[in-house]
Amino acid sequence: MDKRQAPGCSTDPNNKMVNIGNIVLPDFPLLLAPMEDVSDPPFRAVCKDNGADLMYTEFISSEGLIRDAIKSRQKLDIFDYERPIGIQIFGGDEDAMALSAKIVDTVNPDLVDINFGCPVKKVVSKGAGAGVLKDIDLMIRLTEAVVKSTRLPVTVKTRLGWDDSSKNIEEVAERLQDAGVKALAIHGRTRAQLYKGEADWTLIAKVKNNPRIKIPIFGNGDINSAPKALEYKERYGVDGIMIGRAAIGYPWIFREIKHYVQHKELLAPPTLEERIEVCKKHLHKSFEWKGPKIGIFEMRRHYTNYLKGLPNIKEFRGRLVTLTTVEEIETVLDEMYQYYKGYQFEHSQIDLIDYHQKCPI
């Protein structure tokens, strides 16, 4: 058995804190998954408030960063209250990845994450994202290029393999660790699966239980309730869990999981007042960061999720998605508060939408 261990990159069995390089996370940390067009600063702010221990930006094209593409640069915006925060990059060219890691360095995040899991055709066809699952040597060269060019801890997010007949995550994990990666998040699906079927965590557990593996292993895929998170923690033994879709419109998932893991009981669902407050905060942050037009427009997709469970919201919702100023929207939210005052929410199932059909990632 190879006993090599990169300094400062293992979970400490004594204190159960989870270390990623110099970053110290609490026992069983909950991570907010990188999500394109979702994990922006306004959304991250409400997830942070509700217990996300580590968050990532959405993925950023290395080629875009190098070309100074405005859209890519804007995605580098991070704030101190978000720490620890990782910036995720993707690309299939070693020089471009190395250079973009240097650019990422300049905004001083806590870590750089490499996306080796994106299944989209236009990404994989360039040997980026999940494309490298067919070419592990390239994956390692890309990783080494990033590790060499940054002073930050480098982490990776990937899938089980390319398809059912080539699930190579066990080999991938060992080689990534040897290449200097400080933590690995694994989505329990293959590239071929996209978002179909159920995420399979058995291979994630195998990686975690491999005695050669010293870096933290985070499981990802289909966590949508506190009981499921605890069940998967116990069954698969991962160091922490990464949550994506379930947090969209329900950032309270993080605190619910924390409470459940600690006390083995369900926390009461967020009250009407809290839902409206969080919705307002998201709206304000969206307005501040994206500007009045896009900020208000892009907020429209969130109202239904935040207010899910309230009966007959069609008329209110209709107004929320047509109004164009923060003040008007807040007035409607206040009206809703008065109208539904005292409404008792129940825990409802968080549906995990197959986003691949809606947005191709």
Ligand X SMILES: Cc1cc2nc3c(=O)[nH]c(=O)nc-3n(C[C@H](O)[C@H](O)[C@H](O)COP(=O)(O)O)c2cc1C
| Catalytic (active-site) positions | 118
CB of 52 to ligand X, least distance (A): 12
In the complex, minimum distance from the CB of residue 235 to ligand X, in angstroms, rounded to a whole number = 17
| Least spacing, CB of residue 49 vs ligand X, in Å | 19
Cβ proximity to ligand X, 205 vs 276, nearer residue = 205
CB 183 to ligand X: min, Å: 14
> What is the biggest distance separating any 2 CA atoms in the chain, rounded to whole angstroms?
65
Instruction: Report the b/e string of 218-228 with b at 16+ CB within 10 A.
Output: bbbbbbbbbeb
- Report DSSP letters for 195-214, one per residue: T-S----HHHHHHHH-TT--
Question: Is 86 in contact with 154 (CB distance < 8 Å)?
Answer: no
Q: Are 354 and 361 in contact (CB under 8 A)?
A: no
Cβ–Cβ under 8 Å, residues 89 and 100:
yes
Distance CA 114, CA 117 (A): 9
Q: Which residues bind ligand X (CB under 6 A)?
A: 33-36, 38, 58-59, 88, 115, 117-118, 157, 187, 220-223, 243-246, 352, 355, 359, 361
User: Judged by CB, which is closer to ligand X: 306, or 355?
Assistant: 355
Residue 127 or 313: the one with the smaller Cβ distance to ligand X is: 127
Q: DSSP E strands: which ranges in the chain? A: 18-20, 23-25, 30-32, 54-56, 60-61, 85-90, 111-116, 154-159, 183-187, 217-220, 240-243
CB-nearer residue toward ligand X: 75 or 208: 75
- For the bound state, the minimum distance from the C-beta of residue 151 to ligand X, rounded and expressed in Å, comes to 23
Shortest Å distance, C-beta 245 to ligand X: 3
In sign, the C-alpha dihedral spanning 345, 350, 355, 357 is: negative
Nearest to 8 by CA among 176, 171, 181, 170: 181
Closer to ligand X by Cβ: residue 162 or 340: 162
How far apart, in whole angstroms, are the C-alpha atoms of residue 295 and residue 188?
Answer: 33
Distance of CA 247 to CAs 31, 192, 205, Å?
A: 10, 24, 23
Cβ-proximal residue to ligand X, closest one = 244
> Which residue, 35 or 96, has its beta carbon nearer to ligand X?
35
Structure tokens at 222: 């289909």
